Chains A and B, each alone.
Chain A
Amino acid sequence: MSCKRVYGMATRDAYGKTLVELGKENPDIVVLDADLSKSTKSILFAKEFKERFFNMGIAEANMVSTAAGLATCGKIPFASSFASFLMCKGFDQLRMSVANPHINAKFIGSHGGISIGEDGASQMGVEDIALACSLPGFVVMIPADEIATRALVRLAAEHIGPVYIRTGRPKAPIIYQPGIQFEIGKANILREGIDVTVIANGLLVQEAIEAACLCSERGIDVRVIDMHTVKPIDVSAIVQSAQTTGAIVTAEEHLLSGGLGAAVAQVAGEHCPVPMGFIGLKDTYAESGLPEELFKKYGLTAEHIVVEIERVIKKK
């Protein structure tokens, strides 16, 4: 973690590599994809364990229910596609084949958010977290970097029950050093501060850190939290932040409906209402462009977080 960003590998690459490790350790790990294995990086597993990899073709709904069936036979399926197609096309199957019977299957949506860039709105997963969080019993996670990805994918394999993990297309800035321990549902406090807390996940964690650095030059002391698990959300981290800093800004690469901000606001509203600000997509799809151009236009940069911080601390 640093004010200056240093890029590591994309979280989707870290996912593919971790799948291979898991495959070696556990013969029950099976992997499915829907003709995007080159992009989700499940192809790395496919190359090593041909007999345990199933390319289902461009048929996400079929893939989700098939994964559910495999899970009932004691396999641990990891099924991946783009976040948008997996969650949107597989949603009823995730609801009825997976969530309702609380099936032990893992779903990984790559190309989350608008940072996929030039491909444009149809390929951007901007509602995946909301959909996943609406499924009872699901664990929903967004790793910020390669180290977080490896840890969370391994935790997903150990966890008994349905899991959704979002990965990203571009190289992700390095947040963590090797050796850090992760726990499902336990937020990581990356920086202590007393004036305001920024709760972020995914690529917005680095933006939040840089926002904290900019704020410290202006005498504002910002606490930064990586809320890698959106569900079950870390209630005590939110309550403690609200109590000690008295204001919260959330930051996510997702529509503001039903994502991280909504989840944090629900907790804060119930336990300790404080002024809040929200960084995310405001009721709009994005478009083609370079990731940096899109982050600027849709208000997802460190500078936007600073503006939001200054706005909410005035309300304290």
Chain B
Amino acid sequence: MDIEGLKEIARTIRRDIITMTAEANSGHPGGSLSAADVITALYFKVMRHDPKNPNWPERDRFILSKGHAVPALYSALARSGYFPPEQLLSLRRFGSPLQGHPEMRRLSGIEASTGSLGQGLSIGAGMALGGKLDNKGYRVYVMIGDGESEEGQIWEVAMSSAYYKLDNLTAIVDYNSQQLDGWVREIMELEPVVDKWKAFGWHVVDINGHDFYQILKALDEAKATKGRPTVVIARTVKGKGVSFMENNVEFHGMAPTKEQKELALKELRS
């Protein structure tokens, strides 16, 4: 698929995020919208996976460690054929497999249960270790938040993954500069983020996380890097694609109203 095609899918995923959270009247649109382009690139271009055979042992794995952004992931799964897109509207409803945060025992295609921040990258490291033990060629991709990077466990796995030379593991930091209470730099400064990951022994690629050319190039570079894991610092905008949501921390954990939904969908028309 070419970059124009990916852009079109990302727009669909953004529309889904808006519709799903508005319909559920809860959820986290901001961090879902910022993650949409990287997730699109992974599911529609980079990862080897088979929606008809979600447990295929050779598949590449994706873990959304910042589990609250799961509307973006549900949409990517539905749009790539894991389940019918109509089911997206059941997000967060009683009895739906589309839980408020991802649960691997409730929906096939979900590789790990997350929602308590800080754990997904370690689970991914375990999968990468497992792949090495079994001489399997699959790759493991884990998306974490910049706020999530405040958890101590992130830096524990940063150390252990470099030590175990997990070059089949790629972390992507959805660096949208905001967390729940506000701007990351006003709560707990993460910079210099590139130097931190380098100091822990990772190969670091610093990119615009909304530019598909840069995303694909970074993930290629991760694949080509041997002997150590790669982290992609994806500089993004929280709420990306909807003018009144961009950089507006209100929409971290607040769904759009009906009127806001209509406005947003208008902006996201292709």
Contact = CB atoms under 8 A, between A and B. Distances in A.
A294 B116 contact: no
Interface stretch (A20-28, A82-90, A143-151, A229-237): A82-90
Nearest to A43: B181
A287 B98 CA distance: 10
Given A43-B181, A57-B188, A58-B179, A122 B92 contact: no
A36 B181 contact: yes
A214 interface: no
Given A36-B181, A290-B94, A122 B152 contact: no
A288 B118 contact: no
B147 A288 contact: no
B94 A294 contact: yes
A88 B116 contact: yes
Contact of B180 (A39, A61, A297): A39
Contact of B181 (A35, A119, A120, A288): A35
Contacts of A316: none
The residue in A38, A56, A57, A58 that gathers the most chain B C-beta atoms within 10 A of its C-beta is: A58
B187 A57 contact: yes
B122 interface: no
A183 interface: no
A59 B152 CA distance: 7
B147 A35 contact: yes
B181 A289 contact: no
Given A35-B150, A120-B92, A294-B94, A55 B181 contact: yes
A18 interface: no
A59 B150 contact: yes
B150 to A, nearest CB: 4
Q: Tell me what chain A mostly uses at the interface: helix, strand, loop, or mixed.
A: helix
Interface in A53-74: 55-59, 61-62
Interface string B5-39: 00000000000000000001011000000000000
A293 interface: yes
A122 B180 contact: no
Contacts of A294: 94
A85 B101 CA distance: 15
Interface string A253-291: 000000000000000000000000000000000011110
Given A118-B92, A120-B92, A59 B151 contact: yes
A58 B118 contact: yes
A154 B95 CA distance: 40
A297 B95 CA distance: 10
Nearest to A88: B116
Q: How large is the interface on A (under 10, 10 to 19, 20 to 34, 35 or more residues)?
A: 20 to 34
Q: Tell me what chain B mostly uses at the interface: helix, strand, loop, or mixed.
A: loop
A55 B187 contact: yes
Contacts of A89: 116, 118
A66 to B, nearest CB: 12
Interface string A288-306: 1110011001000000000
Contact of A120 (B101, B179, B180): B101
B93 to A, nearest CB: 7
B108 interface: no
A123 interface: yes
The residue in A36, A38, A61 that gathers the most chain B C-beta atoms within 10 A of its C-beta is: A38
Contacts of A167: none
Given A35-B150, A61-B152, A56 B181 contact: no
A121 B118 CA distance: 16
Given A58-B117, A59-B152, A35 B92 contact: no
A43 B182 CA distance: 12
B101 A289 contact: no
A38 B181 CA distance: 6
B114 interface: yes
B100 interface: yes
A37 interface: yes
Contact of B99 (A43, A58, A121): A121
Contact of B95 (A58, A61, A85, A289): A289
Interface string B93-119: 111100111010010000001111110
A117 B93 CA distance: 10
A57 B152 contact: no
Nearest to B186: A55
B174 interface: no
A120 B147 CA distance: 21
Given A57-B147, A59-B151, A288-B93, 16 more contacts: A35-B147, A35-B180, A35-B181, A36-B180, A38-B181, A55-B187, A57-B150, A58-B150, A84-B116, A89-B116, A119-B100, A120-B103, A122-B114, A122-B116, A287-B106, A289-B95
Closest 5 pairs (CB-CB, A-B):
A122-B115, A57-B188, A289-B94, A120-B100, A57-B150
29 contacts: A33-B181, A35-B147, A35-B180, A35-B187, A36-B180, A37-B181, A55-B187, A57-B179, A58-B147, A58-B150, A58-B188, A62-B152, A88-B116, A89-B118, A118-B26, A119-B100, A119-B115, A120-B99, A121-B99, A122-B67, A122-B103, A122-B113, A122-B115, A123-B100, A123-B115, A288-B94, A288-B99, A293-B94, A297-B94
